[in-house]
Chains A and B, each alone.
Chain A
Amino acid sequence: MSSLFRDDVANLARLARIEMSEEELVSLSNEFTVILDAVARVQEVAGADVEPTSHPLPLRNVFRSDVVIPSLTPDEALSGAPAQEESRFRVPQILGEEA
């Protein structure tokens, strides 16, 4: 029986950069007890002798020739920006005042 507690969900939400209300933390942790039990079934057959598959195609590195091709103009790239300044994305403060 696996379970996730409210504090575990709070930590995961912090890692995933999602603010969560107390109500949401509690209800998600309740749901996860059920969901984790269901998905933990994979452990029944995943023996040490089975190779993992990460992707359906057996691809190695895929290269293209190193030639310049048309790309978005600065205006196009900025067209969806929530805020911009001097042809750049304007973003909120990343480092603290003290840094």
Chain B
Amino acid sequence: MIHLSAAQMVAKLANGETTSVALTQAHLERINTVDADVHAFLFVDNEGALKQAAEVDAKRAAGEKLAPLAGVPLALKDVMTQKGIPTTAGSKILEGWRPPYDSTVVAKLKANNIVILGKTNMDEFAMGSSTENSAYGPTHNPWDLTRIPGGSGGGSSAALAAFEAPLAIGTDTGGSIRQPAAVTGTVGVKPTYGAVSRYGLIAFSSSLDQAGPCARTVLDAALLHEAIAGHDPKDSTSINAPVPQVVAAAKSGDVKGMKIGVVKELNGDGYQSGVRTRFEESLELLAAAGAEIVEVSAPNFEYALAAYYLIAPSECSSNLARFDAMRYGLRIGDVDGASAESVMNLTREIGFGREVKRRIILGTYALSSGYYDAYYGSAQKVRTLITQDFNRAFEKCDVMVSPTCPTTAFKIGEKSNDPIAMYLNDIATIPVNMAGIGGMSLPAGLAPEDGLPVGFQIMAPAMQDQRMYLVGAALEAALLTKWGAPLLSQAPALAGK
């Protein structure tokens, strides 16, 4: 049962073949069996999940009209507040904190009767590409437990790939939904900026952060997308416009006549050969499905990474000032006569991990007087240039595509002492965040040289998220025909469990 898609689970719930309690129980058992190896979860809410499941079963039995995903279990990235449930954002500074309120995403999940199984591991405050920066230890890739599951949302992607949950929530500031999806053979979508409320999302870089759906199929992602998207008065940057019809697009998958723009700059040197092989094959399949493949150029994308590593640290140095040891979270050194400042200094020394400190210091520097124009100011200009590149390219095509990541999953520990090498993982995902448009990653197969999953990225103009689902569904269907079974049926590490 746990190997079904969410849409298939919905069908079985509707025709009475199963119940939400049975489904939830099956996933809790799976977590119990495999999570000691995978470490996708920071907290499993056994009791709360079963209670929620029983409630939805009762509603169904009473003939109440239910939301499309009602009764299906989900894993929640630990960056989202959930009332009364430990929420850490992967940081020691929030260890033991139980938020007094629900994020809007959680409120919507509850309103949709989606069962929340627990909170998933992540790089501390979503800063990282491997989940190694979690204060609670790394998550392991279900394809190969010695490898990273991506980051920052590695817990969510690993939970999906290990069949611990059919749905998950991620957040994507520079690729934290899409890169984990790519390296675990799952689907991840970063909607247009402002499509999903940021209320209750613990902020990293507010002008870039965006929550989105993670799943094992394009249709499942679309169903979750529609459940969590929509205008929220509690988030002033939330878009007040109808949610694009992504479920209809995922069901259609019709790409006849669509123009697909291959980004010249996001390919070639630096991309692993197997990544390129799978990417080229996907293009051929899309062409065979009736799409027209064109080449587009985005000359300023090569500056996106540099701009990102100024903008995101700058915003985080401000956002993380709220962790001041005064109102919630860790407090260290509060002895008689200690000043508030010394308590703050000590708490932040102990409470923040290495990468978080590195970025706060970098951001403080980039925003400091005398350096502001040269660093933060220049990065903001690059942001304009990247948006212009997208606008120009979208005059020639309906969506843009690239490999999601330059390589497949690397080994845990391989890049942890080299920040620049680690940052390069996000080279193809960051431009999307800079422009605030939508991006999807879906599995394109395995790289022949290492047998690990490769991600195919689709980018669509702002508020045209349905286009990603059209193309994603078309490619997914063509690949499924070719493979004969979903990619994850080949995941080796947990076989026999």
Contact = CB atoms under 8 A, between A and B. Distances in A.
B309 interface: yes
B384 interface: yes
B385 interface: yes
Given A47-B381, A81-B328, A57 B338 contact: no
A1 interface: no
Interface of A: 4, 8-9, 12-13, 15-20, 24, 28, 31-32, 34-35, 38-47, 50-57, 59, 62, 64, 72, 76-77, 79-83, 89, 91-94, 96
Interface string B297-310: 00010010111011
Interface string B415-442: 0000110010000000000111100000
A9 B220 CA distance: 47
The 7 closest A-B pairs by CB, nearest first: A56-B436, A80-B328, A52-B380, A82-B331, A46-B378, A19-B349, A46-B381
Interface stretch (B3-11, B357-365, B483-491): B357-365
A40 B334 contact: no
Interface in B453-486: 462
B331 A57 contact: no
Interface in B307-334: 307, 309-310, 317, 321, 324-331, 334
B358 A31 contact: yes
Interface in B176-218: 193-194, 207
Given A13-B357, A17-B341, A56-B387, 10 more contacts: A16-B361, A18-B361, A39-B306, A46-B377, A57-B436, A72-B100, A79-B100, A82-B334, A89-B327, A92-B339
B338 A38 contact: no
B384 A53 contact: yes
A83 B331 contact: yes
Nearest to B343: A92
Interface of B: 97-101, 193-194, 207, 233, 236-237, 239, 300, 303, 305-307, 309-310, 317, 321, 324-331, 334, 337-346, 348-349, 352, 357-358, 360-362, 364-366, 368, 374-375, 377-385, 387, 419-420, 423, 434-437, 462
25 contacts: A12-B368, A15-B368, A19-B345, A31-B419, A35-B419, A41-B303, A42-B306, A42-B375, A46-B382, A47-B381, A50-B385, A52-B377, A52-B380, A52-B383, A53-B381, A54-B207, A57-B193, A57-B239, A72-B101, A81-B327, A89-B327, A93-B337, A93-B339, A93-B340, A94-B339
Given A19-B348, A28-B361, A38-B306, A52 B375 contact: no
A32 B381 contact: no
Contact of A16 (B305, B343, B364): B364
Nearest to A56: B436
Contact of B348 (A12, A17, A43, A94): A17
A4 B337 CA distance: 34
Nearest to A18: B348
Contacts of B383: 52-53
